[in-house]
């Protein structure tokens, strides 16, 4: 390929990838508006800060905030008018110098009511806090369960009640929880702040009770107003349910900052860190290196060089199992082990051409061994996914691809060092599992705007589904003209492609965020810093398949 063609290809890739990122940024801007200007104005009339304003005021100045689940419920609950960000803002940020998990109800979205995805998002936030022993700050302002969907949020193991169970577990394990009641806090939702270690309340706007005035009237015939029933004065000075009341949002948030700056220091996991160095190769070139087509090959090592400190990547078994790159590096000063799908078409020592993005037996074996070594050395793992799956066919089956794939899955599942996953491109089939998909407990999992997650590629899946549907129609005696078949194929392909996007995955919390590729280093740096709060207490052991 001539330099001119390379430059044209680079520019085309850069334009396409920057457009994808621009679309993500536009959607995030819409999501940040919550329930809209009218709903925001109503909150302001009450003297309240909005959820994102509360978080911004609470965070240390000029410190990063990694938002978890901004796209949760994106394009869902249309019949209910939508539920931007599932009606709750959550993320990891620094308060008085301490990393913590912040969870803030957005009262502009259905009065902060809990939808099914709201519960899932809150549970994910608690899971991150529990795994990494992060203090949790809850900024409560919610009308409670969204009653029309109560059957999807109330009784099951991963539903609403699981949060209170997590409150209790975290408290028993010494994971600090501080709750600020800054608006309504009703019924079952009242347990969350009161099961926290400390509970604050804002006067005149904050209220907390198991049953509101209307329900009290219906149940026992008592006439009582909201403030007398469960306002700040009642709960701070009569019942003692809350610890202190504050005149407004800012004074309440100031009190939390003062609490956070007095927390003691706990044992660390001991991951290695030196002074961070920027990559020597320009990270902005990632946009031009990553192909606009998910089917085209590229050199993943060039991406890695633009993510790691000093662009220094020390490969493990460089000449063996080349469809997965393994090696040591530093990101934001932290030592990491990188496991990345290589998208180059390479020739193996046996003379075979290996297709980029496919996992072969030798690659699976290499990656499994590398993961074991990183566990031995206490080095966190970073997985860079662009995988179409494991190699199929008689040669692979006869070579034991299932056994070698099982070794890799076994190593990933049993790894005890923190794992972080970045889905750069494709994440298909068992490749998603082997490269530490959501089911394998990465501490954080994110996608670039170019990410696609599915059981298989859109073209293969659509044709498979088409064959099944056409066979069923023919079995009923229907004649399928080529035009009709093409129409069916397009309908299937469009639906399947919609379900493979980064948006679709993020809306269902299969990934924690869609991020700008240039924010990848920051995300991993914050991730390892939070993981360092949680000492490793388990030994790395593998099952019988690992040899």
Continuous segment of H or E residues that includes residue 325:
strand 324-331
Q: Between 304 and 154, name the one with better pLDDT.
A: 304
In Å, how far are 94, 298, 346, 361 from 349, measured between CA atoms? 49, 20, 10, 13
81-90, 109-118, 349-358, 499-508: which range is least confident on average? 349-358
| SS3 assignment, position 238 | helix
Quick: pLDDT tens for 166-184.
Answer: 999 999 999 999 999 999 8
Tokens at residue 236, please? 């701070």
How much is the mean pLDDT over the chain?
A: 90
Q: Any idea what the Cα angle at residue 103 is, between residues 102 and 105, rounded to 5°?
A: 145
**pLDDT score at 1:** 53
For residue range 6-42, what is the model confidence (pLDDT) as tens digits? Answer: 789 999 999 999 999 999 999 999 999 999 999 999 9
Mind giving me the DSSP string for 416-443? -S-EEEEEEEEEEHHHHHHTT-GGG--S
> Helix (H, G, I), strand (E, B), or coil: what is residue 336?
strand
Mean pLDDT of 43-54: 96
Residues 303, 424: Cα–Cα separation, whole Å: 10
Q: How far apart are CA 220 and CA 378, in angstroms?
A: 60
When pLDDT is averaged across residues 146-161 and rounded to a whole number, the result is 83
Residue 351 has pLDDT above 90, yes or no: no
* Residue 547 in this model has a pLDDT that exceeds 60: no
Our CA dihedral for 357, 362, 367, 370, rounded to 10 degrees, sits at: -150
Q: For the residues of 339-391, what is the DSSP string, one character each?
A: EEE--S-EE-TTSPEEPTTEEPHHHHHHHHHHHHHHHHHT--EEEEEEE-EE-
Give CA–CA dist 138/253, Å, rounded: 11
Using CA atoms, how far apart are residues 495 and 462, in angstroms rounded to an integer?
A: 9
pLDDT score for 226:
87
- Burial zone of 336 (CB within 10 Å; 0-12 exposed, 13-18 middle, 19+ buried): buried
Look-up of token digits 């957005």 = 106
Range with lowest mean pLDDT among 72-76, 405-409, 530-534: 405-409
125 or 400: whose pLDDT is higher? 125
Q: Which of 104, 102, 121 minimizes the C-alpha distance to 50? A: 104
- Reduce the DSSP state of residue 102 to 3 states and report it: strand
Span 313-321, mean pLDDT? 94
pLDDT digits (tens, 9 = 90+) for 194-251: 899 999 999 999 999 888 888 888 888 888 888 999 899 999 999 999 999 999 999 9
Q: How would you label 140-172 residue by residue, b for 16+ Cβ within 10 Å and e otherwise?
A: bbbbbbbeebeeebbeeeebbbbbeebbeebee
Mean pLDDT of the 97-126 span: 95
Look at the alpha carbons of 71, 72, 75, 78 in this order and tell me if their dihedral is positive or negative. Answer: negative
Residue 356, pLDDT score: 72
The residue with tokens 């460089």 is 318
235 against 5, higher pLDDT: 235
DSSP-derived pairing of the beta strands 177-185 and 198-202: parallel
Estimate to the nearest angstrom the gap between the alpha carbon of 501 and the chain centroid: 15
Query: Residue 251 corresponds to which tokens in the numbers above?
Result: 């004074």
pLDDT at 397 over 60: no
Structural element, H or E, at residue 514 = strand 513-514
Cα angle 52, 58, 63; round to 5: 90
So what's the pLDDT on residue 545?
47
Residue with tokens 């890695």: 304
Q: In angstroms, rounded to a whole number, what is the distance separating the alpha carbons of residues 542 and 410?
A: 7
Give the DSSP H or E segment for 287: helix 286-289
Confidence of residue 475 (pLDDT cuts 50, 70, 90): confident
So what's the pLDDT on residue 398?
38
In terms of Cα–Cα distance, which of 273, 242, 263 is closest to 133?
Answer: 263
**Tokens found for residue 473:** 């129609």
Instruction: State both tokens at 195.
Output: 């099961």
Taking only the tens place, the pLDDT of each residue in 262-300 is 999 999 999 999 999 999 999 999 999 999 988 899 999
Query: What is the reported pLDDT for 462?
Result: 66
The answer to whether the CB of 323 falls within 8 A of the CB of 317 is no
In 3D space, the residue among 384, 508, 488 whose CA is nearest the CA of residue 436 turns out to be 384
546 burial via Cβ count (<10 Å: 0-12, 13-18, 19+): middle
pTM above 0.85, yes or no: yes
Separation CA 58–CA 38 (nearest Å): 25
Q: Determine the pLDDT at residue 389.
A: 82
| Segment 414-419 mean pLDDT | 97
Looking at the chain, how many residues does it have? 547
Q: In 3D, which of 479, 365, 465, 371 has the Cα closest to residue 418?
A: 371
Q: Report whether 503 contacts 75 (CB < 8 A).
A: yes
- What pLDDT, on the 0 to 100 scale, is given for residue 298? 94
**pLDDT, tens digit (0-9, with 9 covering 90-100), for 437-470:** 999 999 999 999 999 998 766 666 667 777 777 7
The pair of structure tokens assigned to 190 is 């009242």
Q: What are the tokens at 115?
A: 């939808």
DSSP 142-180: E--B-GGGGGGTSSSTTSTHHHHHHHHHHHHTT--EEEE
Whether residue 387 contacts residue 421, with contact meaning beta carbons closer than 8 Å, is answered with no
Q: Which two tokens stand for residue 514?
A: 């869609």
Question: What does the alpha-carbon distance between residue 20 and residue 294 come to, in Å, rounded to a whole number?
Answer: 13
477 burial via Cβ count (<10 Å: 0-12, 13-18, 19+): exposed
- The string of pLDDT tens digits covering residues 487-540 is 777 777 777 778 899 999 999 999 999 999 999 999 999 999 999 999 999 888
- Per-residue pLDDT of 322-338, as tens digits, reads 999 999 999 999 999 99
CA distances from 14 to 21, 36, 450 (A): 11, 33, 12
Instruction: Provide the Cα torsion 512, 414, 126, 432; round to 10°.
Output: 20
């Amino acid at each position: 390929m001539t330099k001119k063609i390379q430059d044209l290809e680079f520019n085309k890739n850069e334009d396409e990838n920057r457009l994808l990122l621009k679309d993500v940024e536009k959607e995030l801007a819409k999501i940040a508006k919550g329930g809209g200007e009218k709903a925001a104005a109503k909150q302001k009339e009450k003297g309240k800060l909005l959820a994102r304003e509360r978080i911004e005021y609470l965070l240390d100045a000029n410190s990063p905030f990694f938002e978890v689940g901004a796209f949760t419920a994106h394009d869902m609950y249309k019949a209910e008018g939508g539920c931007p960000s599932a009606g709750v803002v959550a993320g990891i940020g620094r308060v008085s110098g301490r990393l913590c998990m912040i969870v803030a109800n957005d009262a502009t979205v259905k009065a902060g009511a809990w939808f099914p995805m709201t519960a899932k998002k809150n549970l994910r936030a608690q899971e991150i806090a529990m795994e990494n022993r992060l203090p949790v700050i809850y900024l409560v302002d919610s009308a409670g369960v969204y009653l029309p969907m109560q059957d999807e949020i109330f009784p099951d193991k991963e539903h609403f009640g699981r949060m209170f169970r997590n409150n209790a577990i975290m408290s028993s394990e010494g994971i600090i929880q501080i709750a600020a009641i800054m608006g309504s806090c009703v019924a079952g939702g009242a347990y969350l702040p009161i099961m926290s270690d400390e509970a604050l309340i804002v006067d005149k706007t904050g209220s907390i009770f198991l049953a509101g005035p209307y329900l009290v009237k219906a149940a026992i015939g008592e006439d009582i107003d909201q403030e007398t029933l469960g306002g700040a004065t009642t709960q701070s000075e009569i019942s003692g349910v809350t610890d202190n009341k504050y005149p407004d949002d800012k004074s309440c948030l100031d009190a939390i900052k003062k609490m956070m700056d007095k927390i003691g220091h706990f044992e660390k996991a001991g991951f290695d860190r030196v002074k961070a160095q920027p990559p020597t190769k320009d990270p902005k070139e990632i946009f031009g290196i990553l192909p606009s087509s998910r089917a085209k090959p590229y050199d993943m090592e060039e991406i890695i060089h633009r993510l790691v400190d000093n662009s220094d990547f020390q490969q493990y078994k460089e000449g063996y199992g080349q469809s997965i790159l393994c090696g040591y590096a530093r990101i934001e000063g932290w030592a990491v082990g990188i496991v990345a799908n290589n998208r180059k078409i390479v020739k193996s020592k046996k003379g075979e051409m290996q297709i980029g993005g496919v996992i072969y037996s030798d690659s699976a074996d290499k990656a499994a061994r590398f993961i074991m070594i990183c566990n031995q050395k206490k080095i966190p793992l970073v997985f860079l996914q662009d995988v179409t799956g494991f190699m199929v066919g008689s040669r692979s089956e006869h070579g034991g691809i299932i056994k070698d794939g099982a070794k890799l899955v076994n190593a990933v599942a049993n790894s005890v060092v923190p794992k972080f996953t970045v889905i750069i491109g494709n994440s298909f089939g068992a490749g998603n599992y082997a490269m530490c998909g959501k089911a394998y407990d990465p501490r954080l999992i994110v996608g670039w705007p170019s990410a696609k997650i599915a059981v298989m590629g859109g073209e293969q899946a659509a044709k498979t589904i088409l064959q099944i549907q056409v066979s069923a129609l023919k079995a009923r005696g229907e004649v399928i003209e080529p035009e009709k078949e093409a129409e069916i194929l397009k309908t299937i392909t469009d639906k399947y492609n919609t379900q493979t996007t980064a948006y679709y995955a993020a809306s269902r919390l299969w990934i924690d965020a869609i991020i700008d590729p240039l924010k990848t280093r920051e995300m991993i740096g914050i991730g390892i810093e939070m993981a360092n709060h949680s000492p490793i207490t388990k030994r790395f052991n593998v099952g019988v398949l690992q040899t």
